[in-house]
Chain A
Amino acid sequence: MSAAGPILSVQNVGKIFGLSAGFLRKPLILKALSDISFTVNEGETLGIVGESGCGKSTLGRCILQLLTPDEGKVLWLGRDLTTLPAGEMRKHRRDLQIIFQDPLASLNPRMTVGGIIADPLRTLMPELSQKQRRAKVIEMMEAVGLLPEMINRYPHEFSGGQAQRIGIARALITEPKLIVCDEPVSALDVSIQAQILNLLSELRERFNLTLVFISHDLSVVRHVSDRIMVLYLGRMIEYAPRDDLYNDAKHPYTRALLSAVPVPDPRLARARQITELVGEIPSPINPPSGCTFRTRCPYALPLCAEKRPEIEPVDAERTVACHRWREIADGAPPTQHAGASA
């Protein structure tokens, strides 16, 4: 957690997908992301949380230019990646890596573990000799807790947790500065999940990595992140340092989300008050007017349907997008509006 300046700065990023509605029909527009801005400092972990369809994975891919944003800039060490020619971009690929959710599906079943881990080196560090490559593979396998004698095995011989270690080794081998971790432990059993989380934090220290950690699991995100951004239907809802968010969330969605997380503590679970949200997330193809959360928000007013809340600062380090966050923080009662469908 060094105090260096921002290594990554995302400015007003938006992403639109066109969906075919059928032959000769006007395509449907899905706004996956709108007006996303944040910075990540070197050595820091940014958590991105939200439920399905909130755009968290799209955002991760926009950062890495695996998807090209339709609006805004992605500044990596001050250079805008969205306008770089492909050749220039390739030079930065070494620095920017990704770990995926489904560890087995993201490994080529016909390649050996050694081949998979070495693969990024062929294109990104072609200057290395075969011997140097092998030495690096073995070094990385040891770093992630795999035995070097497994180097000639195939992915199907590994369990989910070990496969995720292979995915991490492949991401680390180009000595990246930033890794986007997209739900890296969601597919794993609890005991293995803890192993991988501890491994990630150990590697972060050792290699001074900056992490963007995407997850739907608020307990996991709390455990790994320094700062957290909450997304809802492609928009930033709240952005805050970790403890501020978990101890004193400002946005009603963040509050409800936190209260809904099951806690592994029976007495606490019985004593807890859950803010139950009505309904489910609306379709991103036809989002509600104004504030997209208003259809489920216990505090919604007519204003919320008319005007989209701006992203405003709470203090120097955090922002929130809600018309009523001050009143809610002062203890305003719910409006009972909840329940109107989109």
Chain B
Amino acid sequence: MANVLEVKDLNVTFSLHDGDVSAVRDLSFVLGQGETLAVVGESGSGKSQAFLAIMGLLARNGRATGKAVLGGTDLLALSPTELDRHRGLDIAMIFQDPMTSLNPSLKIGRQLAEVLVRHRGQSDSAAWRHATEMLDRVGIPEAARRADSYPHELSGGMRQRVMIAMALLCEPKVLIADEPTTALDVTVQAQMLELFKTLTDDFGAALVLITHDLGVVAGLADRMMVMYAGRAVESGSVDDLFYAPNHPYTFGLLHSTPHVEDSGQRLRPILGLPPSLEHLPTGCAFHPRCAFVMPECRTARPELTHRGGGRHAACFYEGELKEKEAAE
């Protein structure tokens, strides 16, 4: 499988009034053509900031270093004008709340057509026609009529479909979806997940799915990367990580998640709270909450190392992870 995106040593730092804070540290990964990679983590894990940095969309006090190579071009080395040519064309991103991402005063069709006029140099009428075709392809009923509506006239699920249509217009190689179903009702979420399943096949795009919902990951992703306090702590195939996690944090997340098909199960939360990025613990950032902590975890930080079968984990403990009764 050819790689469409290669990220190497990505670091994202924000300057705050009392110093710098690292949101993403030494992040490296590759994304294969047509694959779906889930990026999993809780708030503050850096999962969204890493991809905003790749898209050149960081807040003004944010800086990114490292490389993000897409089709031979390092996106992080481009000037804002050069980056504009790639954004929307080769790589596109959609967000949790479609209402705040759409222009409320422009008709849906116009917003989509603008993308084609700008990136593809199409005429207004051809662009409008392509826009309605794309709305139809993402499952919007009566697409020609809906193209004539304003965002507030559509439901939440329809708006998210419009966002997806807009992102796919130029057939990007990479689509980044940041919590795309979190704001939707369960039955609408199911429709959207079905749509995402067909996207990678129909459009040949690789999908990055940023989410905190392990249910969504299990149904959609091929591989996953788990982040904690700005770093990748484990990556590998979805099956490997769900059925035999190597990192205690992945293990903890899985045991914290209630399962709709199982009522007898007792939840085993991860103890404590996620650390503040301004005051990270020494050694492994997860060690104060880890049920498998060892003395060296407090002083040294484990590197992300290869564990065979395309898996990586950053943990000194290499034994089997089993539930510890005494962990409470």
* A and B physically associate: yes
List residues of chain A with CB under 8 Å of any chain B CB.
Answer: 51-52, 159, 161-162, 189-195, 197-198, 216-220, 222-223, 242-243, 246, 256-270, 274, 276-277, 280-281, 296
Establish whether residues A198 and B263, one from each chain, have CB atoms under 8 Å apart when the complex forms.
no
Name the prevailing secondary structure of the B interface residues. Answer: helix
Q: Is A243 in contact with B268, judged by CB distance below 8 angstroms?
A: no
In contact, B187 and A257 (Cβ under 8 angstroms): yes
Identify the stretch in B2-10, B143-151, B165-173, B210-218 within 8 Å (CB) of chain A at 4 or more residues: B210-218
Provide the residues of chain A in CB contact with B157, threshold 8 Å.
Answer: 280
Query: Is the C-beta of B103 less than 8 angstroms from some C-beta in chain A?
Result: no
Expressed in whole angstroms, the minimum distance between the Cβ of A24 and any Cβ of chain B is 24
Q: Which residues of A contact B238 (CB under 8 A)?
A: 266
Q: Is the CB of A266 within 8 A of B215?
A: no
Q: Is the CB of A261 within 8 A of B269?
A: no
B216 with A277: CB separation less than 8 A: no
Known contacts A194-B269, A276-B194; is A263 also within 8 Å of B186 by CB?
Answer: no
A219-B269 in contact (CB<8A): no
Cross-chain contact A280 with B156 (CB below 8 angstroms): yes
B254 touches A264 (CB 8 A): yes
Q: How far is the CA of A159 from the CA of B276 in the complex (A)?
A: 10
Closest residue of chain A to B211, judged by CB?
A262
A190-B187 in contact (CB<8A)? no
Q: List 14 A-B contacts (CB under 8 A).
A: A162-B273, A190-B214, A190-B253, A191-B256, A194-B269, A197-B267, A223-B258, A264-B254, A269-B218, A270-B219, A276-B190, A280-B155, A280-B156, A280-B157
Interface residues of B in 270-299 (CB under 8 A from A): 270-271, 273-274
Of the residues B194, B255, B263, contact of A223 by C-beta under 8 Å: B263
Q: Tell me the chain B residues, 158-213 only, with Cβ under 8 Å from chain A.
A: 158, 185-191, 193-194, 212-213
* B259 CB within 8 Å of chain A: yes
Closest 7 CB pairs of A and B: A262-B215, A194-B269, A260-B190, A194-B256, A189-B42, A51-B185, A191-B270
Task: Judge whether B101 is part of the interface by a CB distance below 8 angstroms.
Answer: no
B257 within 8 A of A: yes
CB neighbours (8 Å) of B274 from chain A are 159, 189, 191
- A243-B256 contact given A189-B274, A262-B189, A269-B218, CB 8 Å threshold: no
CB distance from A334 to the nearest CB of B (A): 15
In the complex, chain A residues whose CB is within 8 Å of the CB of B255 = 194
Q: A191-B256, A261-B186 are in contact. Are A198 and B269 (CB under 8 A)?
A: yes
Contact A267 B239 (CB under 8 A): yes
A267 cross-chain contacts in B, Cβ below 8 A: 239
B interface, how many residues as a size bin? Answer: 35 or more
B323 to chain A, nearest CB (A): 13
Assess the B219–A262 pair: CB atoms within 8 A.
Answer: yes
A191 to B217, CA, bound (A): 16
Is B43 interfacial (CB 8 A cutoff)?
yes
Whether a CB of chain A sits under 8 angstroms from the CB of B326 is no
- Cβ–Cβ < 8 Å partners of B155 in chain A: 280
* B59 in the interface (beta carbon within 8 A): no
Known A193-B256, A262-B193; contact A280-B188, beta-carbon cutoff 8 A: yes
Asked if residues B190 and A219 are in contact (CB atoms below 8 Å), the reply is no
Cβ–Cβ < 8 Å partners of B158 in chain A: 280
Q: Which residue of A lies closest to B183 (CB)?
A: A52
Asked if B109 is at the interface of the complex by the 8 Å CB criterion, the answer is no
Does B18 interact with chain A (Cβ within 8 Å)? no
Q: Which of B187, B218, B252, B265 contacts A256 (CB 8 A)?
A: B187
In the complex, are the beta carbons of B190 and A274 less than 8 A apart? yes
A265 CB to closest chain B CB, in angstroms?
6
Return chain B residues, CB-CB under 8 Å to A263: 215, 218-219, 259-261
How distant is the Cα of A158 from the Cα of B156 in the complex, in angstroms?
Answer: 32
B-chain residues with CB within 8 Å of residue A216 when the two chains form the complex: 185-186
- Determine the chain A residues whose CB is within 8 A of the CB of B316 once the complex forms: none
Whether A264 touches B259, Cβ cut-off 8 Å, given contacts A191-B253, A191-B270, A198-B269, is yes
Which residues of the partner chain A approach B189 to less than 8 Å between Cβ atoms?
260, 262
Decide if B268 touches A194 in the complex (CB within 8 Å). Answer: yes
Residues from chain B with a CB closer than 8 A to the CB of A280 are 155-158, 185, 187-188
| Complex Cα spacing A281 to B158, Å | 12
Asked if residues A268 and B261 are in contact (CB atoms below 8 Å), the reply is yes
When C-beta atoms are compared, the residue in chain B nearest to A193 turns out to be B256
B242 interface contact, C-beta 8 A: yes
Q: Is the CB of A190 within 8 A of B263?
A: no
Per the bound structure, the CA–CA distance linking A142 and B301 in Å amounts to 34
Contact residues in A for B188 (Cβ distance below 8 Å): 280
Known: A191-B253, A192-B273, A216-B186. A258 touches B260 (CB 8 A): yes
For B219, the chain A residues whose CB sits under 8 A away are 262-263, 266, 269-270
> How long is the Cα–Cα vector from A44 to B224 in the complex, in angstroms?
39
Given contacts A261-B215, A266-B238, A280-B185, is CB(A194)–CB(B259) below 8 Å? no
Inside 8 A of B262's CB, which chain A residues have their CB? 222
Bound-complex Cα distance A264 to B40 (A): 13
Bound: A274/B218 CA distance, A:
14
Cβ of A276 and Cβ of B260 under 8 Å apart?
no
Q: A219-B259, A274-B190 are in contact. Are A262 and B218 (CB under 8 A)?
A: yes
B218–A265 touching, CB < 8 Å: yes
A337 to chain B, nearest CB (A): 15
* Alpha-carbon separation in the docked complex, A192 to B252 (Å): 11
- Distance to closest chain A CB from B245 (angstroms): 12
